[in-house]
């Protein structure tokens, strides 16, 4: 899977792929070169998860409140 594929993953997809990488590394059944490649992939997947989580947090912060403090909608975050 390429970096471009990672950039298109949903949070859930990236988290599942990251868990697979961690499981493979924890088992210790991969060669050194493959361990390095898995570590690099894991770092990219972690970055993707962090980016998506930050975007979600920003959207939650933008929830607009109406009378009585009730949510009445959301305001899109620029760039989404």
Distance CA(17)–CA(15), nearest Å, equals 5
In a domain, 8, yes or no: yes
In a domain, 59, yes or no: yes
Average confidence (pLDDT) over 50-61: 89
Residue 79, pLDDT > 90, answer no
Average pLDDT along the chain: 86
pLDDT at 24: 95
In a domain, 56, yes or no: yes
In a domain, 80, yes or no: no
In a domain, 21, yes or no: yes
Indicate the SS3 state at residue 75.
Answer: coil
Number of domains in the chain: 1
What is the extent of the structural domain holding 62?
3-74
Q: What is the DSSP letter of 64?
A: E
Residue 80, pLDDT > 60, answer no
| Global pTM value | 0.74
Is 70:28 a contact under the CB 8 Å cutoff?
no
Backbone torsions φ then ψ of 64, nearest 5 degrees: -90, 140
Q: What CATH number is attached to the domain comprising 23? A: 1.10.287
In a domain, 70, yes or no: yes
């Amino acid at each position: 899977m390429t970096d471009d594929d990672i950039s298109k993953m949903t949070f859930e997809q990236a988290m599942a792929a990251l868990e697979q990488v961690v499981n493979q590394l924890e088992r210790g059944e991969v060669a050194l070169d493959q361990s390095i490649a898995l570590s690099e992939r894991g770092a990219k997947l972690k970055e993707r998860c962090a980016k998506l989580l930050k975007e979600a947090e920003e959207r939650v912060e933008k929830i607009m409140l109406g009378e009585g403090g009730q949510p009445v909608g959301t305001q899109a975050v620029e760039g989404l």
